[in-house]
Amino acid sequence: MPAPSNQDGTTRYSQSRQAQPLHNRLASNDSSVQSYPASQVSQAPRSSLNGKMLLDGYHGDILNNFEGAPPKFNPRNPNRTNSSPLLDANDPIQMHLLVSTALEDATGYAILAPEEVDSLRKQCIRLTQRIESTRQNLAVQSKYRDAAINMGKLYTDGGDGKRRSRGSLGLKRNSHTDQSREAEAERAASERRCEELAQELWGLEKRLIEPQTALLQHTAGILQMTHRTAKKGGRASQGGMPGSPESMYTYSNPGGSVAPGEDIFDERSLYRSFDRLDGGEGERAVVEAPGGMGADAEAKLKELWEMMHPSGQDGEDEAPVQNFSLLAFSSKVQSLHSQSAMLNDQKEVLQRQIKQQRELNNKSDETKDREMAEMETQLKSTKATLSQVEAQAQSLESKLAEALDQTSRSQGEDTIALHSNIDNLQNELDTLQNQLEDHQNKLEDLQNEHEDLKSSHAIDLAELKSSNAGDLADLQSQLTSSLEHIAALKQAKSTAEAHIGDLTADLEKARKAEAQVVSLTADLEEARNAQSSRAVDEDELDAKNMEIARLQTEVTIARAELDGAYGSRAQRAAEVASNPAIQKELDALRRELGETIEEYEVLTKASIEGERERELLEKEIDRLRDEREALEAKLSDER
């Protein structure tokens, strides 16, 4: 991710040094920076504090959006109003004691090179940006966690009675329990994410302490060294260089001297504005800014682009202005940077020329004055050009800082809009939850109605089965009486024709019984296929199967006995036809058997109709269950 501009990053870095609430609480007993070494902080074990403890420590900071404690205000010190109220800057004794103590404490602090200082500052800026991003993520995840906790409370309150009633109906799935488990899983995931972010934020804050401590020690060491040297009256140090910046260009050099009123080029002014462009930070800030600023930032950049292409002076040819683009803007900034580097090289060349001019003491005064005048003219023109470029760069930098401030404000407004959107989604979620409860109540009513219909159909089916069994018993008794009647006829008639007729009638009855057995077997197979998805009484099916097997066995035995004892079927039919009384009795028995079979068919059709109605009710229940699951899925998507 491209780094922001140095000014904006320095502002965030200074704010982060003032607002570190959790570290300020946990390290409140430390009296100085040295009592809490950065090396020990960076190497502290991560397991010393778990995520739960860290999250509890950040709870208060999350509630106030990591604003931190309000700054102190000291009206007696207008230059530094954020100093302690007990400080009196006008008291010379108090200030002398503070300065002496600070100089004494900063004696052993290490002084870094400019490259190391820039590296530490960039590291602080990067860590500060990551800390701010992690804080925002932690605040958002905390809101998600609170919403998940509220959803879990909705599912756990008052749901035991409904789960018990639905469990008594034998349903395979319990949607209420599944939803509560899902809400619990979401809550656990949100808490785990919050704990991970808290641990990450804790680690980043610990890592930030090390470069901050090094920079503070470097700053204190530099100020201590320059202050001690300045108090010696501006005397040069061992290497011939002064110790304070104020005396850097006013000391005496054995190789040559410069008059006190002589205009000497201050090389510090060359790096005062363009040191922030080192490392491509300005370019990266310009490239990064349009991605998140919007129309206002783009307008600011275009305005800066127009400022970098002013209209030509009178008598000068106006060059065509290139259209605005991020690449062109970056190229222009790089061009300004290269121009400043070129001017720096020119400055060094001029300094060498001045040094050479000082060493040429054997030349005449006129030659030296002329050459010095030329050099001073060149130096003044270079300083004027450099001042112009510096002013332009400072203007660009201020404009960029203003644009980035507007970007941060717009991001804050987006965060507020996101929070309001979360509240609206929470309200919609409550509405959908109420609708889901209404649908669940309706589904329970339909399930109760289906259970009542199921019980009534079971009663009707039991009655049909009992009546069917009675009809079968009557049929069996009728068959028995007919056999007895045939036996009586056999006894009445001593001839073989009567006995053959009785056996023929018995055979015909057996055939009818066999047809009935086939019909009952087909009905039984249909009933078995229709009731395969439900619980069927195993004992009743076994009894029917045994009854069918017994009837089939009796028919087979009777047929075998008839075939073995008497003649062929045609002969027996002829003998039966020759006896009208037996034929009449057989016709009567056939009619009774047909009527019984018709009644059984009617009962079977009624049972089948009841099963169809039951299947329709089950389909309606499945449809309502699917609608409920669709609503639950929609509810999950909304979450």
Taking only the tens place, the pLDDT of each residue in 553-564 is 777 777 776 666
Tokens of 561: 């006995």
Of 411, 441, 265, 291, the C-alpha closest to 349 is 265
Position 493 scores a pLDDT of: 56
User: What number of other Cβ atoms are within 10 A of residue 40's Cβ?
Assistant: 11
User: What number of other Cβ atoms are within 10 A of residue 118's Cβ?
Assistant: 17
Position 313 scores a pLDDT of: 44
Position 282 scores a pLDDT of: 46
Mean pLDDT score of the chain: 68
- Show Cβ contacts of residue 105 under 8 Å, excluding neighbours closer than 6 positions: 32, 220
Position 628 scores a pLDDT of: 80
282 vs 415: which has the higher pLDDT: 415
90 vs 397: which has the higher pLDDT: 90
Mean pLDDT of the 112-130 span: 93
Mean pLDDT of the 355-375 span: 68
Query: What are the pLDDT digits (tens) for 103-112?
Result: 888 888 999 9
| Bridge partners, residue 256, by sequence | 253
Cα distance between residue 17 and residue 69, in whole Å: 12
Position 363 scores a pLDDT of: 59
Max mean pLDDT among 149-163, 249-263, 271-285 falls in: 149-163
Look at residue 266 and give its three-state secondary structure: coil
Cα distance between residue 78 and residue 75, in whole Å: 6
Predicted TM-score (pTM) of the model is 0.32
Integer angstrom CA distances of residue 260 from 240, 263, 266, 280, 354: 18, 8, 14, 39, 16
Cα distance between residue 564 and residue 463, in whole Å: 43
The angle, 0 to 180 degrees and rounded to 10, between the axes of the packed helices 538-565 and 496-530 is 160
Cα distance between residue 615 and residue 620, in whole Å: 9
pLDDT for residue 131 is more than 60: yes
> 16 pLDDT band (50/70/90 cuts)?
very low
Q: What is the dihedral of CA 614, 620, 625, 631, to 10 degrees?
A: -170
Query: What are the pLDDT digits (tens) for 584-597?
Result: 777 787 788 778 77
Look at residue 168 and give its three-state secondary structure: helix
